[in-house]
Amino acid sequence: MQTPVTIFWFRRDLRLDDNHGLFKALQLGLPVLPVFIFDPSILQSLPKNDRRVAFIHETLNALQQVLVGIGSSLEVVYDAPLVAFQKLCAQYTVQHVIANHDYEPYAQERDKAIKSYLADRGISFETFKDQVIFEKNEIVKDDTTPYTVFTPYSKKWKAAFTKSLTHPFASSALIHNFIKTAAKEIISLSAMNFEKEATVFPAKHVGNELLQTYSEERDFPAKNGTSKLGIHLRFGTISIRQLVAQALATNETFLNELIWREFYQMILWHFPHVVNGAFKPKYNAIKWSDKETHFKAWCEGKTGYPIVDAGMRELVATGYMHNRVRMIVASFLTKHLLIDWKKGADFFALHLLDFDLAANNGGWQWAAGCGCDAAPYFRVFNPYIQTIKFDKEHSYIKKWIPELDDLTYPAPIVIHEEARKKCLEVYAKALQGESL
């Protein structure tokens, strides 16, 4: 008879320290088998040189080094999650499976299927809150309905917050409870049909000095004024508890951004219809343009609007785009070009290192004016004024558009004033009867 094991399933929490679910698993008293599953149904839609897949792979290798150092090993599986569990259950005597909560609709469905499969075999499947401070129904209005406006949500968030919520889970102190086994090979990127592009990923920490000037510097894309921690929050290579504690000690504006992240996670949880349509369904009636030449110019950074083009080129070249510029390019696509926000959101999803369904969807719907607590649709960003305010010396623009002053740089594909007028007409037509 084999020794029974607990499986800890890593997902958006790729770290050994301060990991809630991992802490629970390591406390149970059985050897813990750490598992990661590369899910072909997610991977198949990604390009061969996807940087996020390389990031995950690199992170798993770093975890593996620590685990092998203590006589254990990760089990990395490349299979549909249900099939992966069928095989794991055939190979081991599994008593419990533990993971952390994942709020995305696809993950919810997947977890439901796994839970039911395991339950049929008498195996428990438990998940824990790890990637946010508050989740689901924890911050709701007094009448128990979810907030749809950020400011009152954030006030309630702060009122409900206590320091104990940032206490770390001592998972790294229990790592001797991982299963003892010979080191196993981690599947290579090429075996999954991916290749590694030379990418330097942002550091896993942010200095207090940067956070102290965050409020003043964060809106200027030429400055190094934001944390660049998006990818680490997305894959859980840092703990939100640790980061919130640091924010509390340094900068409230930074804390507010972390609360925006939880706000959008909460919105996705309560209103999953936002994945495929506008938060305010009336906005689904907007007659979007299908002008492919405009979409292509936007994707390639050739719209003739330097701040937009610089942003799009930065995104494609590095996988990152500054928040101020994300707002400008998203507004430009949806308002100036009248192209469906979903096309823009899909393009971001393909390129952003920090792509996160909830934040991306929230950001796009905010820019298009169709989301919860969105900018009103009649407020159309003027890219020229945004440039004067946030990149006056053109330092950011020139970094990404070296040919700015040459004849090769394209003329604007639409005229700002004309595009603005048309946008207001098209939105107004779709929203007839909507009170502003």
Ligand X SMILES: Cc1cc2nc3c(=O)[nH]c(=O)nc-3n(C[C@H](O)[C@H](O)[C@H](O)COP(=O)(O)OP(=O)(O)OC[C@H]3O[C@@H](n4cnc5c(N)ncnc54)[C@H](O)[C@@H]3O)c2cc1C
Residue tagged active-site, from 58, 126, 323, 382: 323
Which residue's beta carbon is nearest to the bound ligand X? 363
Alpha-carbon distance of 135 to 262, in angstroms, equals 7
**Which of residues 64, 73, 127, 227 is near ligand X by CB under 6 A?**
227
Residue 288 known to be catalytic: yes
Comparison of 37 and 229: residue with beta carbon closer to ligand X? 229
Number of residues that bind ligand X (CB under 6 A): 27
427: nearest Cα among 274, 280, 238: 280
Judged by CB under 6 A, does residue 257 bind ligand X?
Answer: yes
**Which of residues 55, 264, 283, 305 is near ligand X by CB under 6 A?**
264
Comparison of 85 and 254: residue with beta carbon closer to ligand X? 254
Distance, CA of 168 to chain centre = 22
Note whether 264 and 359 are within 8 A (CB).
yes
Strand 5-10 relative to strand 75-78, pairing: unpaired
Note whether 127 and 111 are within 8 A (CB).
yes
Residue 323 known to be catalytic: yes
Residue tagged active-site, from 126, 135, 260, 382: 260
- Could you tell me which stretch among 82-90, 171-179, 320-328, 427-435 binds ligand X (CB under 6 A)? 320-328
Judged by CB under 6 A, does residue 103 bind ligand X?
Answer: no
For tokens 């009170």, name the residue: 435
Task: Could you list the beta-strand ranges (E) of 118-220.
Answer: 124-128
Render 292-333 in DSSP notation, one character per residue.
Answer: HHHHHHHHHT-SS-HHHHHHHHHHHHHS---HHHHHHHHHII
Residue 260 known to be catalytic: yes
Judged by CB under 6 A, does residue 274 bind ligand X?
Answer: no
Residue 9 known to be catalytic: no
Judged by CB under 6 A, does residue 367 bind ligand X?
Answer: yes
For residues 75-96, one letter each, b for 16 or more C-beta atoms within 10 angstroms of the residue's C-beta and e for the rest, the string is bbbeeebeebbeebbeebebeb
Provide, rounded to whole angstroms, the least separation between the CB of residue 258 and ligand X: 5
Comparison of 326 and 336: residue with beta carbon closer to ligand X? 326
- Could you tell me which stretch among 44-52, 100-108, 226-234, 391-399 binds ligand X (CB under 6 A)? 226-234
Q: How many CA atoms lie within 13 A of 280 on its CB side?
A: 22
Judged by CB under 6 A, does residue 353 bind ligand X?
Answer: no
Provide, rounded to whole angstroms, the least separation between the CB of residue 196 and ligand X: 22
CA distances from 171 to 162, 178, 205, 432 (A): 21, 11, 19, 55
**Which of residues 128, 260, 271, 288 is near ligand X by CB under 6 A?**
260
14: nearest Cα among 169, 176, 238, 244: 238
Distance, CA of 36 to chain centre = 19
Dihedral of alpha carbons 26, 75, 355, 138, sign? negative
Instruction: List the interface residues with ligand X, window 55-74 (CB under 6 A).
Output: none
Identify how many contiguous H helices and E strands the chain contains and give both numbers.
19, 5
Judged by CB under 6 A, does residue 327 bind ligand X?
Answer: yes
Judged by CB under 6 A, does residue 117 bind ligand X?
Answer: no
Judged by CB under 6 A, does residue 363 bind ligand X?
Answer: yes
Distance, CA of 247 to chain centre = 19
Judged by CB under 6 A, does residue 337 bind ligand X?
Answer: no
Residue tagged active-site, from 157, 269, 298, 364: 364
**Which of residues 13, 356, 373, 391 is near ligand X by CB under 6 A?**
356
**Which of residues 39, 323, 410, 426 is near ligand X by CB under 6 A?**
323
Comparison of 30 and 238: residue with beta carbon closer to ligand X? 238
Judged by CB under 6 A, does residue 326 bind ligand X?
Answer: yes
Torsion angle, CA of 301/303/304/306, rounded to 10 degrees? -40
Tell me, what amino acid is at 217? E
Comparison of 180 and 389: residue with beta carbon closer to ligand X? 389
Provide, rounded to whole angstroms, the least separation between the CB of residue 403 and ligand X: 26
Judged by CB under 6 A, does residue 368 bind ligand X?
Answer: no
* Catalytic sites, residue numbers: 257, 260, 288, 323, 341, 364
Binding site for ligand X (CB under 6 A): 218, 226-230, 233, 257-258, 260-261, 264, 323, 326-327, 330, 348, 352, 354-356, 359-360, 362-364, 367
